[in-house]
Structure 1
Amino acid sequence: MSQPTRYPAEIADTPAAQDADVPSGKPGKSFFGSRFVSILHLFGGNIANSLLMLLGTALAARTLGTEQFGVFVLVLTLGRFSERLVRFESWQPLIRFAASEEQSFDSDRMGSLFLYGLLLDTASCLLAAALTIGGGLLLMQTIGLQSEDLPFVMIFAAAIALNIRGFPTAALRLGGQFRTLAYLQTVSSFVRIMLAFAAFLMGWDILAFILIWTGVQIFDTALFLFISFRSLKRQGVANPLKADWRNLPQRFPGFMSFAWSTNISSTLRTMTQEADTLLVGALGGASSAGLYHIAKRVAKVAMQIGANVQAVMYPDMARLWARLEIHAFRTVTFRLQLALMAIGLAALVATILFGKQALALVLGSEFVAAYGLLIAQMVAVILILHAAPSRSALLSMHRPGVVLIVAALSTVLFFITAFVTMPIYGALGANLAHIAFGLLTAVALDVFWWRESRRAMEGTTD
């Protein structure tokens, strides 16, 4: 039986079986150096992808104008809100369980594990598509859309139904293919830019942009699935489509409880990260939702850094915890927090100095009104960046319940803040709610992961 290639040799930016270079209790320079290279690749790819997506958004905004662009944003947000409301984030339990299975690697059993994740992804995607259409029918006028906008919602629901993400994400991250993750996503973004530019030149209407975004997302999903199956084959994992599907819950006890915890946590985050745009649309109309979306889209460039770090370090953190190398685990988490905080502060300063000019140059003078929203959103981003390593640490420690409780309390605080401040400050109130959410999340997760890891370290030294 072939053994898994955990870190493919041809991926020069990933550590080839670097686990041996991590001495017990303290990670070596080679550990951080090799992961840093992977993070740089992911960061470069994601920055390029974010800039391409921002350019696509700019083309849509310039072509459609503030009102129709707001409708476009609300349609996309409704679909993404529905998707993330029921998505199970299956990559998290897949990585957690696969890390535990690696020591006694069984190709067929690993194939069944990934099949479990794939089935979970497929079911949640179909449910999300149905929820998108149902939400459009029930909430359309409430969130700032009109009855004639329903066909746009139904078209974009097709992309939601096929947007399988957890399975390919876990396959590529476990395979150490961070360079592939970094640059593969830019392919679909480049295609979207080309089509959006054609729509801009031809002066096409909102239907054309909805079709472009829908078609490109379906293409992107197909591309990721193809690459992920190849990655699993190279790692020695049996084809999940041919794996034994019987008695999956009994063969992998605890998988669904972990998945449910991450699903509920994701649902709570969705209520703050996607429902906020719908709330702005409901209170301020489509134009306000469009401006608010612009601020969030720009700030998302900085948030990609936290996602990149989690993508690279989460598998390693799970392995360190599984091997009871607690001191190394704590060192990695703390250093990541410091680095992300510094990057977030630098991004905030750059936004204050150049944000207004950048909005006018890229989107046009009518979108400069998003400047204040952007600054407030960047403050929230700093807090979310700081919390990202803490969340990965607790998931590695098999404490998804703690993450869930913190997410629930932070979400309650978010909506309390939003409903108090939005009638006074408008869309800015939603940004203030994000700051409150991020502050509670960062502090609470820090307290829990430091306390739990200290107890574990004391237990290993007794």
Structure 2
Amino acid sequence: MAATRSTAKNSLSALHPRELARSLSASLNQNALLRSRIGSVFHLLTGNFGVAITMLASTAVAARTLGAADFGALALILALGRVCERLVRFESWQPLIRFVAAEENAADPQRLSQLYAYGLLLDVCSAFLAAVMCVVTGWLAASHVGLTPDQGKLVAVYAAAIAINFRGMASAALRMSGKFRTIAYIQFVGGLTRLALALLVYLTGGSLLEFIAAWTFAQALDSLVFNWIGLRTLAQNGIPSPFKASWRKLSDKFPGFLGFAFSTNLSSALRTLTHEADTLLVGFFAGPAAAGLYFLSRRVAKIAQQGGDLIQTVAYPDMARMWTGKGIANLAQTVKWLQIILAVGATVAITLCWFAGEWALHLVFGPDFVDAFPMLLAQLLAVALVLHAAPSRSALLAMNRPTYVLAVAAAATVIFFATALAALPSLGAVGVNLAHIAFGLFTAVSLDVAMWRGLGRVRAEMAEERLEEGKA
């Protein structure tokens, strides 16, 4: 130990005073950044927990009012809408963050405005297409997943919210500005609105139509407020509104943006097939009541998953900057610590569910929904695997490897459906939860291996460059 301290002391004393100052300054800046990001994570988790509570409360009100069969119909209608939305909606914040990080040093407000306009254009077009697809799907496919013709028409009501649910541009603006507190607490607008409307429907003895209308209005309001704040953030940073930017020849001005966007969108679409279409799969094989139980297990487990998504929200912009600035060691440390934090959180969630899951389901949702407990426990294990993969996925996107991420998502999707179709006939809805476990395990291993190998190669290349510079 003494030798170690002596070696460290001699190494520091051997540094030139300017080098020592730069080293200490970098260490202080890194510690300040870490404290800032911990604070951001705290706000995001606090906001996410509050929104999750309001969502569960709204879901509980709907479940107790409608009963198992009609609540299952509500779950299937929402799932149909979300599948259509996420199959074609661009996650434009991902390419925006990647390209804005590369453009920041130039600091050209007009060019940044055009870049955000590119993302906004993709957002608006894909939202409109998703709404149209939602209406058509509700008309054609509703009866195949257990909905009556009248219930299928309600999908068109929910499509109104999908048509204006574009928020990729605003999300990128807030994330790049470090406004994670705003992201955390703005979610309460939609959550509290949904809960208030659900209680109103409950008190008036409302129907399935009124619950769908409540969900639609709350989501639409949330999207409008989110975009308004995103545009204000751009203005505060001196970036003109994307609505006023020239939208001509954007693909020529930002080559590679559209390809990156398509790749991440396909990856997101494949995840949608396993995270939203799964409810439809249960409805097709087992009917609306089973779909309602399965949907409930997914909603509860999603609380833990959203916590991981929000930590990733904080980390991804920094990862993109680290990669651009050759901060490979910091990137590796960030991934490692995020995975440790997420593993601890997932373990706590699974333990709580094991000891109190059945009691909580009975208390909050009623005796008709206690049968969701095995599905909930299995889903939490699947969520733990997905959470573990989230930081390495962000790192690979920052490393400009969206094609590999897409390939992993495609292979994992095939594994998911093969497992689900094999397990559903004998195990029922819980078979889909097991398919999620298989999906998560394959994704976590594949992304981790590629990321650590990639970082190792870059470190070796940088070491060789330093060696050659030393010889020169």
- The residue number in structure 1 matching 2:153 is 151
CA distance in 2: counterparts of 1:162 and 1:143, whole angstroms: 26
CA distance in 1: counterparts of 2:27 and 2:334, whole angstroms: 11
Question: Structure 1: any 5+ residue segments left out of the alignment?
Answer: 1-19
The alignment partner of 2:255 has SS state of coil
Return the offset for 1:233.
0.7
Task: Write the mapping of 1:238-277 to structure 2, written as runs, cut at 5 A.
Answer: 238-277=240-279
CA distance in 1: counterparts of 2:200 and 2:334, whole angstroms: 46
Counterpart of 1:210 (choices 204, 209, 212) is 212
Counterpart of 2:114 (choices 112, 115, 127) is 112
Counterpart of 1:341 (choices 340, 343, 353) is 343
Return the offset for 1:236.
1.6
Which letter does structure 2 place at the counterpart of 1:426?
G
Number of corresponding residues: 443
The alignment partner of 2:206 has SS state of coil
Task: Write the mapping of 1:10-409 to structure 2, written as runs, cut at 5 A.
Answer: 28-409=30-411
Q: Is the 8 A contact 2:297 2:379 kept in 1?
A: yes
Return the offset for 1:235.
1.4
TM-score by length of 1: 0.94
Q: Is the 8 A contact 1:272 1:411 kept in 2?
A: yes
CA 1:373/1:28 → structure 2, altered by over 3 Å: closer, same or farther? same
Q: Structure 1 or 2: larger helix share?
A: 2
Return the offset for 1:141.
1.1
- The residue number in structure 1 matching 2:415 is 413
Q: Is the 8 A contact 2:54 2:195 kept in 1?
A: yes
Return the offset for 1:326.
0.7
CA distance in 2: counterparts of 1:421 and 1:259, whole angstroms: 34
Runs of 4+ in 1 over 6 A off after TM superposition: 20-27
Return the offset for 1:461.
1.5
Partner deviation per Cα, 1:331-375 (whole Å, 9 max, x = no partner):
111111111111111110011111111111100011000001000
Q: Is the 8 A contact 1:163 1:217 kept in 2?
A: yes
Percentage identity across aligned positions?
Answer: 48
CA distance in 1: counterparts of 2:426 and 2:211, whole angstroms: 34
Return the offset for 1:30.
2.5
- The residue number in structure 2 matching 1:11 is none
Give 1 or 2 for the bigger CA radius of gyration. Answer: 2
Partner deviation per Cα, 1:394-417 (whole Å, 9 max, x = no partner):
000010011001001100000000
Return the offset for 1:22.
9.8
Q: Is the 8 A contact 1:333 1:390 kept in 2?
A: yes
Q: Is the 8 A contact 1:79 1:156 kept in 2?
A: yes
Q: Is the 8 A contact 2:297 2:375 kept in 1?
A: yes
Return the offset for 1:167.
1.2
CA distance in 2: counterparts of 1:312 and 1:21, whole angstroms: 25
Q: Is the 8 A contact 1:43 1:308 kept in 2?
A: yes
CA distance in 2: counterparts of 1:69 and 1:165, whole angstroms: 28
Which letter does structure 2 place at the counterpart of 1:242?
K
CA distance in 2: counterparts of 1:29 and 1:112, whole angstroms: 34
Which letter does structure 2 place at the counterpart of 1:37?
G
CA distance in 2: counterparts of 1:127 and 1:370, whole angstroms: 34
Partner deviation per Cα, 1:94-143 (whole Å, 9 max, x = no partner):
00000000011100000000000011001101111111111112211111
CA distance in 1: counterparts of 2:410 and 2:439, whole angstroms: 10
Which letter does structure 2 place at the counterpart of 1:248?
L
CA distance in 1: counterparts of 2:301 and 2:28, whole angstroms: 34
CA 1:366/1:457 → structure 2, altered by over 3 Å: closer, same or farther? same
Which letter does structure 1 place at the counterpart of 2:58?
G
Q: Is the 8 A contact 2:166 2:223 kept in 1?
A: yes
CA distance in 2: counterparts of 1:450 and 1:22, whole angstroms: 28
Return the offset for 1:28.
3.3
CA distance in 1: counterparts of 2:408 and 2:180, whole angstroms: 29
Q: Is the 8 A contact 2:319 2:331 kept in 1?
A: yes
CA distance in 2: counterparts of 1:147 and 1:24, whole angstroms: 64
Q: Is the 8 A contact 1:410 1:441 kept in 2?
A: yes
